[in-house]
Amino acid sequence: MTINTRDGAGRPPGLWPRVFAAGRGGARRFGSFAVVGVISTGAFVALYALGRTLMAPMAANFAALSLTMLFNFAANRKYTFAATNGPLHVQAVQYLAVYLLGLGASSAVLYLGLQVVRDPARPVETVIAVAAGGVATVIRFLLLSVWVFRARTAGVGSPP
């Protein structure tokens, strides 16, 4: 099976049309991603707050994101992208790469936020951590849409 990476005029599709294509359930996909995100964010806040009683902010961020990652992967795979027929091991490795990229980005934003707001109160620190997680969320949505769970269509001349 080959992947059709060209539009009807023979041009490669742009990033935004692939991510938000209404004809391919873009609004439903975004809504489902948002619901999974709200649940994950709630779990992240609870885990981050718990982690902060035992460890530094960067370690708490790592622990909370890592613990919510498995739920996030499974829920987005099943509900957001309906990609349960794809090869789980390939999707899992790709998702791990996306997670690590998002972790790096959110850690950098958290670190910078904590440099700007020196010694914040715990609720302010948690808001900074959630905002940092928002950066990872945008990265995750884009890369899950166009890489990990992208729609794979048969190309011209390939068997059904």
pTM score of the predicted model: 0.74
Question: Where does the pLDDT of residue 19 fall: very low under 50, low under 70, confident under 90, or very high at 90 and above?
Answer: low
| 24 vs 124: which has the higher pLDDT | 124
Q: Is residue 10 part of a domain?
A: no
97-130 pLDDT, tens digit per residue, is 999 999 999 999 999 999 999 999 999 999 999 9
Q: Is residue 20 part of a domain?
A: no
User: What's the number of domains the chain is made of?
Assistant: 1
Alpha-carbon distance values, 23 to 17, 29, 30, 63, 103 (Å):
10, 11, 13, 38, 32
Q: Is residue 17 part of a domain?
A: no
Query: Which range of residues forms the domain containing residue 81?
Result: 25-148
Q: Is residue 57 part of a domain?
A: yes
Query: How many other CB atoms sit within 10 Å of the CB of residue 66?
Result: 12
Q: Is residue 8 part of a domain?
A: no
Q: Is residue 71 part of a domain?
A: yes
